[in-house]
Amino acid sequence: MMDIRVVGDGIGVEVSGVDVKTMSDADFAKLYQAWIDCCVLTVTDQHLTIPEFLAYSRRFGTIEPHPSKSTRHPDYPEITLLGVDKFKPDGSLNQTIYRRGGEGWHTDGAYEKIPFKATQLYALAIPDRGGNTFFASGYAAYDALPQRLKDRLDGVLGGFVYGTPGLLNPEDENWKPAFHPIVRTHRESGRKSLYFDELKIVSLQGFEKAESDDLIAELKSRMILPRGRYEHKWRVGDIVIWDNRCSYHKAAADYPPDQDRIHWRVSIADWQ
Ligand SMILES: O=C(O)CCC(=O)C(=O)O
Ligand SMILES: [Fe+2]
C-alpha cells in the first residue's frame, strides 16, 4: 500500500510501499500532487535499470539532456552521472565532480530560457557518513519578505548565467544571461515564490548597477530561513525529485572522498 508522509517543515514528503515500475495512474496522480504540495519528494527502496528510471522520469515531463556533456552517461545522454570519475588520472580529487551542487544555494537550469521544471536523482551508492542534500522553500522565502521588497520586486526580471566553472566543454561556455521573473507564480500550485539563485544571479533589470547589487545581496541574505527546510539523508534506492520552480537546494559535499556517492540524474523540462 502506498504510504505518503510529510517529512520536512513546509517542504519535503516521502512515499513508500510502491514500485514506480508498475505504479498505477491513480497512485501516480496522488504522488504528483504530494510533490506539488511539498516541492521535494522521496520515493524509497526502488530497484531500477536506466530505461526504467527514464520511463518513470518521463511521467513528470520531457527529459532534457544537461548542458554538461562530459558528465552525461556515454550511452544515455539524458542521464547525468553524479560522483563518477571523481579522481583525476594523477590520483587527486576532482573537486568539480566531488563538490558538484555544493557551492551554494541554487535552483537548476536558471541559465536556460525555460529553466528545468524538476531534477530527479536515483541513488546507486551512498557513503556511510555525510553527503546529504539540503532543501529550502522559495514559497517560505517569498512569504517572509517585507512588503516593501515584495512591491519593489513585483514584475522585475533577474538575469542568470551558468554558475559552475569546469563542468561545461569550452565551446559551450559562453552563456548569455537568461531573464526570469524574481517573483514567480507557480503554474500548478498558484503560489508565489522567490525565484533566486545565489550562484547564477548577475543582475536585476530596471535598476542601476549599485542598486541591483544591493538588492541581490539583500535577497541572498533572505532566501534561506530557519523554517521551510528539509535535509535529505540518502539511502541506496531513494529517488528524490525537487521542483526547481519553488525550491532551492545544495549538496553538503562533505563525505569521505574515498567512498562512493553515485546518482543517476535527469532534468525535466518545463515546456508544456
Ligand atoms: O548531489 C546532490 O546532493 C545535489 C547536486 C545538485 O545540485 C544537482 O544535481 O542539481
Ligand atoms: Fe543542483
pLDDT for res 165: 76
Nearest to 124 by CA among 224, 201, 222, 53: 53
CA of 215 to the centre of ligand 2 (A): 23
> Alpha-carbon distance 192 to 245, whole Å?
10
pLDDT for res 170: 84
pLDDT for res 80: 98
pLDDT for res 164: 77
Class of domain 3-268 as given by CATH: alpha beta
Residue 132 burial class via C-beta count within 10 angstroms: exposed 0-12, middle 13-18, buried 19 and up:
middle
Nearest CA to ligand 1 atom 6: 101
> Ligand 1 pocket check: which of 263, 266, 267 to mutate, most ligand atoms within 8 Å of Cβ?
263
> Ligand 1 pocket check: which of 126, 238, 250 to mutate, most ligand atoms within 8 Å of Cβ?
250
CA of 47 to the centre of ligand 2 (A): 23
pLDDT for res 100: 97
- Could you tell me whether strands 118-125 and 13-16 are parallel, antiparallel, or unpaired per DSSP bridges? unpaired
Q: For residue 132, which atom of ligand 1 is closest to its CA?
A: 3
CA of 264 to the centre of ligand 2 (A): 13
Parse the chain into domains and list their residue ranges: 3-268
Contact 42, 239 (CB under 8 A): yes
Using CA atoms, how far residue 257 sits from 3, 73, 99, 166, 254, in Å, is 35, 21, 10, 19, 8
Q: Which residues line ligand 1 (CB under 6 A)?
A: 82, 100-101, 108, 119, 133, 249, 251, 265
Give, for all 272 residues of the chain, the pLDDT tens digit: 999 999 989 999 999 999 999 999 999 999 999 999 999 999 999 999 999 999 999 999 999 999 999 999 999 999 999 999 999 999 999 999 999 999 999 999 999 999 999 999 999 999 999 999 999 999 999 999 999 999 999 999 999 998 777 888 888 877 789 999 999 999 999 999 999 999 999 999 999 999 999 999 999 999 999 999 999 999 999 999 999 999 999 999 999 999 999 999 999 999 86
* Half-sphere exposure at residue 58, Cβ-oriented, CA atoms within 13 angstroms: 8
Residue 77: strand, helix, or coil? coil
